[in-house]
Amino acid sequence: TTAEDWARSDHYHNSFLHTKDEILDAALKNSTANGLPEIAVSAAQGKFLNLLVSSIGAKRILEVGTLGGYSTIWLARALPNDGELITLELIEKHAKVAQENIDKANLTNKVKIIVGPAHESMQQLHPETPFDFIFIDADKKGNLDYFTEAKRLVRKGGVIIVDNVVRYGRVADPEYTDTNVEGVRRLLKGLKGDTDVEATTIGTVGDKGYDGYLYAVRK
Ligand code: SAM
């Protein structure tokens, strides 16, 4: 089975389960036009995040790694009227494009972008009400640091998702030692014996290749 077969599979399923979405299409188009890398979650993954947020009735979401705000829009759309999402992004340009996309999606009032290194931004957060849902999708070498802060910031029973933890199976293949793979390994080593959460990895395949989410629930 080739990458094209898996992309076709994704599009086939989406053709039954997703409706045409001009706002999300425009967000991707605007991101590409501004030179942002095409590394947003897939439509199926974005909708999955959206449904997870709805399932737990999340009102407060933290996202680590905004890029052009594509996953931000999927997540924020699942919030109730009084819900809010804070998203953390290092690069000013990405944040600017994301703000445009978020404004066009009519989510300006629910979403706040904080520009800067995510670990520092997280350390500066001391919310009165903890987050219900945290999505970690920034530089992979920071995964364990982000996860550690996420545990502090999420409520008991809240959900932490970390993206890209399978990486075509390379995380489990000793031949690979790049920083992304090592960042996921460091997270997994940190999670071994961690009694603060229960977690599992869900592998995914589709038009973004073979990858997976780490899904954790705070105890
Ligand atoms: N979540 C986005 C989506 O699916 O639409 C994709 C995020 S992209 C994979 C990762 C983003 O994290 C990039 O925009 C990158 O600039 C940002 N990033 C990298 N290092 C960071 C850091 N130290 N702090 C905050 N953001 C960072």
Closest Cα to residue 180, out of 138, 148, 218? 138
pLDDT at 18: 98
> 């947003």: which residue's tokens?
40
pLDDT at 173: 98
Q: What domains, with CATH codes, occur in the chain? A: 3-218 (3.40.50.150)
Residue 68 binned pLDDT confidence (cut-offs 50, 70, 90):
very high
pLDDT at 194: 98
Distance (Å) from CA 137 to ligand 1 centroid: 6
Cβ(91) to ligand 1 under 6 A?
yes
Distance (Å) from CA 89 to ligand 1 centroid: 6
CA dist 128 and 32 (Å) reads: 37
CA dist 114 and 17 (Å) reads: 33
CA dist 36 and 93 (Å) reads: 9
Helix (H, G, I), strand (E, B) or coil at 199: strand
pLDDT at 26: 98
Task: List Cβ neighbours of 128 (8 Å cut-off, separation of 6 or more).
Answer: none
Q: Using an 8 Å Cβ cutoff, are 155 and 132 in contact?
A: yes
Residue 151 binned pLDDT confidence (cut-offs 50, 70, 90):
very high
- pLDDT tens column, 137-146: 999 999 999 9
Amino acid at 139: D
CA-proximal residue: ligand 1, atom 6 (nearest): 40
**Rounded average pLDDT over 108-113:** 98
Residue 135 binned pLDDT confidence (cut-offs 50, 70, 90):
very high
CA dist 55 and 6 (Å) reads: 27
Tokens standing for residue 189: 């080593």
Among 38, 41, 73, 89, name the best residue to mutate to test ligand 1's pocket (greatest count of ligand atoms within 8 A of Cβ).
Answer: 89
CA dist 26 and 96 (Å) reads: 15
pLDDT at 182: 98
Beta strands in the chain (DSSP E): 60-64, 84-89, 111-115, 131-136, 154-162, 197-206, 209-218
Residue 215 binned pLDDT confidence (cut-offs 50, 70, 90):
very high
- pLDDT tens column, 158-196: 999 999 999 999 999 999 999 999 999 999 999 999 999
Distance (Å) from CA 16 to ligand 1 centroid: 30
User: What's the complex ipTM?
Assistant: 0.99
Q: Using an 8 Å Cβ cutoff, are 7 and 206 in contact?
A: yes
Give one word for 206, left, alpha or beta, with left for phi > 0 and alpha for psi -120 to 50: left
pLDDT at 131: 98
pLDDT at 171: 98
Tokens standing for residue 105: 């999606």
The pTM of the full predicted model, rounded to 2 decimals, is 0.98
Cβ(125) to ligand 1 under 6 A?
no
Q: What is the CA radius of gyration of the chain?
A: 17
Distance (Å) from CA 129 to ligand 1 centroid: 25
Distance (Å) from CA 161 to ligand 1 centroid: 14
**What's the whole-number average pLDDT of the chain?**
98
Burial (CB count within 10 angstroms: exposed 0-12, middle 13-18, buried 19+), residue 156: exposed
